[in-house]
């Protein structure tokens, strides 16, 4: 009986790990897509565009702030909204007392939670808000592929110090820094 029990619980453990593996493998192979929320939250792009449009028309600088919030997020463990979480990442010198736009992101998240609860990641909101900010300020547009997952943990101060590009870099230094993180023109 004891041995039956133990083999049954190791079978259960095996099934659990297999399930976890398949889940993770599925995530790893999942592709981002511009239409990721096409059926689950069809108004996602219009909600973000309109909120960013009014924030930028209230204060043009907010467009730059939302773009900066996005890339400061992406340079630390990828574009995973870790910059929104309380923890070391927010308190690093590059971020503390200078990151702005949290209220705009919160407002978008609140609207999306009421139309499609639990669907749209904050990482995707940050990515689209950055694009819409640039467009609202008269810059170029680009397609944002969606389906990013949010981190459950903030990065550390040293993650920020070692990754976010220094404001002292010249243009060629900045271009190669962004390019090393997978941002290409
Ligand atoms: C940019 O900075 C790097 C490193 O400090 C330097 O080697 C390079 O010559 C600079 N480039 C320009 C165009 O000033």
CA 39, 102, 50, 109 torsion-angle sign = positive
Residue 6 has pLDDT above 60, yes or no: no
Ligand 1 pocket, residue 172 CB under 6 Å: yes
Residue 16 has pLDDT above 80, yes or no: no
Tokens of 48: 């973000």
More confident residue, 156 or 20: 156
**56 has binding-site annotation:** no
pTM of the model: 0.82
Residue matched to tokens 């819409």: 132
d(CA 80, CA 51): 21
What's the pLDDT band for 185 if we cut at 50, 70, 90? low
Model confidence over 123-169: pLDDT tens digits? 999 999 999 999 999 999 999 999 999 999 999 999 999 999 999 99
Q: Tell me, what's the pLDDT at 184?
A: 73
Tokens of 9: 């619980």
What's the pLDDT band for 177 if we cut at 50, 70, 90? very high
Categorise residue 101: left if φ over 0, alpha if ψ from -120 to 50, beta otherwise. Answer: left
What's the pLDDT band for 17 if we cut at 50, 70, 90? very low
d(CA 31, CA 146): 9
Please say if 70 is a catalytic residue: no
* Residue 33 φ then ψ, to 5°: -150, 145
Nearest CA to ligand 1 atom 1: 170
Q: Tell me, what's the pLDDT at 24?
A: 44
**82 has binding-site annotation:** yes
Question: Mean pLDDT throughout 109-130?
Answer: 98
More confident residue, 26 or 167: 167
More confident residue, 20 or 77: 77
Report the mean per-residue pLDDT for the chain: 88
Nearest CA to ligand 1 atom 3: 173
Domains and CATH numbers, the chain: 18-180 (1.10.520.10)
Residue 29 has pLDDT above 90, yes or no: no
Question: Mean pLDDT throughout 10-32?
Answer: 49
Q: Say if residues 164 and 94 touch (Cβ distance below 8 Å).
A: yes
User: In 3D, which of 112, 143, 93 has the Cα closest to residue 46?
Assistant: 112
């Amino acid at each position: 009986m004891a041995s039956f029990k133990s083999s049954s619980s190791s079978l259960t453990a095996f099934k659990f790990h297999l399930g976890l593996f398949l889940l993770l493998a599925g995530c790893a192979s999942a592709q981002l897509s511009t239409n990721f929320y096409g059926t689950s939250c069809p108004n996602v792009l219009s909600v973000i565009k309109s909120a960013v449009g009014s924030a930028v028309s209230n204060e043009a600088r907010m467009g730059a702030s939302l773009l900066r919030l996005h890339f400061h997020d992406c340079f630390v463990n990828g574009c995973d909204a870790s910059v929104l979480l309380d923890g070391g990442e927010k308190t690093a010198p590059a971020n503390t007392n200078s990151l702005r736009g949290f209220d705009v992101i919160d407002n978008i998240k609140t609207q999306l939670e009421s139309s499609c609860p639990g669907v749209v990641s904050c990482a995707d909101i940050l990515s689209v808000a950055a694009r819409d900010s640039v467009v609202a300020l008269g810059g170029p547009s680009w397609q944002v592929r969606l389906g990013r997952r949010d981190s459950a943990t903030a990065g550390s101060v040293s993650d920020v110090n070692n990754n976010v590009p220094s404001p002292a870099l010249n243009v060629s230094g900045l271009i190669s820094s962004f390019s090393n993180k997978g941002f290409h023109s």
